[in-house]
C-alpha cells in the first residue's frame, strides 16, 4: 500500500477546493431551480403578467405594501 504525504500547501489547497466545490454546488442548484421555473409555463405567464402590471404602475410599491401590512397587524394587535 502506498502512503500519501501532503504538504501544508497541499492541505490548504484542498481546503480551498472543498469550499469552492460547495459554492459551485449551490450555484448549480440555483441554476437547476431557474431552469425548472423557466420551463413552468404557468409561472412564466404569471411573471409576464406581473411585469406588465409593473410597467403600468398598477401594483403598490414595496413600501406601501409593508405599511398596509403593519397597519393591519397593529389593528389586529389592538383587538
Residue 47 is predicted with a pLDDT of: 82
Residue 60 is predicted with a pLDDT of: 64
- The domain locations on the chain are 8-78
The structure's pTM equals 0.50
Q: Could you tell me which of 48, 26, 63, 16 has the C-alpha nearest to residue 34?
A: 26
Lowest mean pLDDT among 10-24, 27-41, 42-56: 42-56
Q: With contact defined as beta carbons under 8 Å apart, do 13 and 20 qualify? A: no
Q: Hey, what's the cell of 72?
A: 393591519
Residue 23 is predicted with a pLDDT of: 95
In angstroms, the first-to-last Cα distance of the chain is 75
pLDDT tens for 22-37 read 999 999 999 999 998 8
Amino acid at each position: 500500500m502506498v502512503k500519501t504525504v501532503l504538504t501544508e500547501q497541499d492541505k490548504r489547497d484542498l481546503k480551498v477546493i472543498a469550499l469552492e466545490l460547495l459554492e459551485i454546488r449551490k450555484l448549480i442548484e440555483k441554476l437547476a431551480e431557474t431552469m425548472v421555473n423557466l420551463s413552468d409555463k404557468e409561472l412564466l405567464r404569471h411573471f409576464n403578467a406581473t411585469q406588465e402590471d409593473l410597467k403600468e404602475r398598477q401594483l403598490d410599491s414595496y413600501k406601501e405594501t409593508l405599511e398596509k401590512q403593519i397597519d393591519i397587524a397593529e389593528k389586529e394587535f389592538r383587538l
